[in-house]
Structure 1
């Protein structure tokens, strides 16, 4: 007895778990378990008037019918959660009452035919309606709670505040300002920067282009992107380094993913080694 949306997506108000897994893993086990418990306990006089087999048929039939009605109604109503997730309380209340009304009549007819009890009068129907609503709430409580949590409609525990020096997850880091300067045809996979007179040549996996600005200003706009200046005229992204070559005079040359080679000045060689780039074996 839970909700099913037409589109399963992780947005608020939409389920994260596929419908079949929610049905088989949550709804059906709870419905079956509730029917078995009610058959064993025999509430509302069913224990004294019916055999165990009759009680099983009685409660499995009623719980199954109520669960089917609940499912069909929520399937039709849950589309509203995509646009108004805050309306889930009213939706659940409406569905519960809408299911309880026909189920009350079904129970009244079953009681008259099976146990000879005439509940088809205002007072009897009112009494049955209260019982039906109560059982519906008890049976659906756990699956509905799981469903609401799956849809992100229940607030979880507030995480402790992160320390000021805690690393920011990559998904939450803003894009470096420099990347907005790149032409769309070059994409955002920045490999290296190279100073050319008053320009900076930006090298990406898709090609290169000149941008009118100083190299130091471009590097400042790359704050947050893993990389470093390796020469007075070159900056390299860490993810771009495929390997390192050593010249006979001991100087280092970085080999990038696109095959480009970038010299490392002696003043930056220690930082390159500290970053572990010299451990890369080559393209």
Structure 2
């Protein structure tokens, strides 16, 4: 398996294909279907349902494609300036709205004989297109910003001051800040998966774009160990040890997940098992 470098700030945690097929396309298709059924801007009266479906799916699809391509180009240019995402979104939205205004004007003239190819007509149409663009892109953009960690969470209440002689509380491992909020902080294991690290917690799993060894380095201070070139486990997550007939060890986590132990880590794992008192049994 190959490993990649750590993602820069503002880079997505979820693979592009999953974001595109699982979030963006369903949102755009849903918006097109709703607009086809409602038939705004006179399309309900002038067009049949089949025509409205073709009309809105084509426009939303073209607008979505333009938005995606311009966003990809802009994020490449602003790779080192993730804080500029607001200006980037405004610029992309206005660019897409301008392109789609001209497209809709030509389509309306051809399809329904409506002439918007005048300054006032284009200005009026531009307002409508901007509104539709904002409504259609709201959910996909929000999901994308959340995936990139660009949406600030609620402000935490200030902690009470510590006495002067009190020891400072231990710092949370830096890696935990990368976890999506829905996964919580009860880390069970890490698993290298192609270009990503799959994170397992009590609440589920997700992919993070980084190398396993970098993730382990960011977990300094958390009790755990690497047990395989592709696996790391938290000590508190291990419920027992299972020995296979061929002598290989498998760690059984408290959520039932089984993690293989490679030969190169066998001595360290056995020592940790004795120290922690992990129950050992023979597996099939």
Q: Same fold (TM over 0.5)?
A: yes
Alpha-carbon spacing, 1:280–1:167, altered in 2? closer, same or farther (3 Å): farther
> Which fold has the larger relative contact order, with Cα–Cα distance below 8 Å and residues 6 or more apart in sequence?
2
Q: Does 1:95 align with 2:92?
A: yes
CA shift at 1:102, angstroms? Answer: 1.6
Aligned to 1:154: 151
Aligned to 2:60: 63
* Cα-to-partner distance string for 1:180-225 (whole Å, 9 max, x where unaligned): xxxxxxxxxxxxxxxxxxxxxxxxxxxxxxxxxxxxxxxxxxxx89
CA shift at 1:11, angstroms? Answer: 3.7
- Tell me, in whole angstroms, the C-alpha distance in 2 between the residues paired with 1:39 and 1:83: 40
Alignment equivalent of 1:16, drawn from 13, 16, 19: 13
The RMSD of aligned alpha carbons is 3.6
Paired residues in the alignment total 182
Aligned to 1:47: 44
8 Å Cα contact 2:173-2:222 kept in structure 1? no
- Tell me, in whole angstroms, the C-alpha distance in 2 between the residues paired with 1:225 and 1:35: 48
Higher-Rg structure is 1
Alpha-carbon spacing, 1:280–1:9, altered in 2? closer, same or farther (3 Å): closer
Aligned to 1:142: 139
- Tell me, in whole angstroms, the C-alpha distance in 1 between the residues paired with 2:89 and 2:100: 16
Query: What residue ranges of structure 1 are gaps of 5+ in the alignment?
Result: 1-6, 173-223, 227-256, 259-275
8 Å Cα contact 1:69-1:99 kept in structure 2? yes
Alignment equivalent of 1:125, drawn from 101, 122, 125: 122
Give the TM-score normalised by structure 2: 0.56
- Tell me, in whole angstroms, the C-alpha distance in 2 between the residues paired with 1:278 and 1:141: 50
CA shift at 1:16, angstroms? Answer: 0.7
8 Å Cα contact 2:33-2:53 kept in structure 1? yes
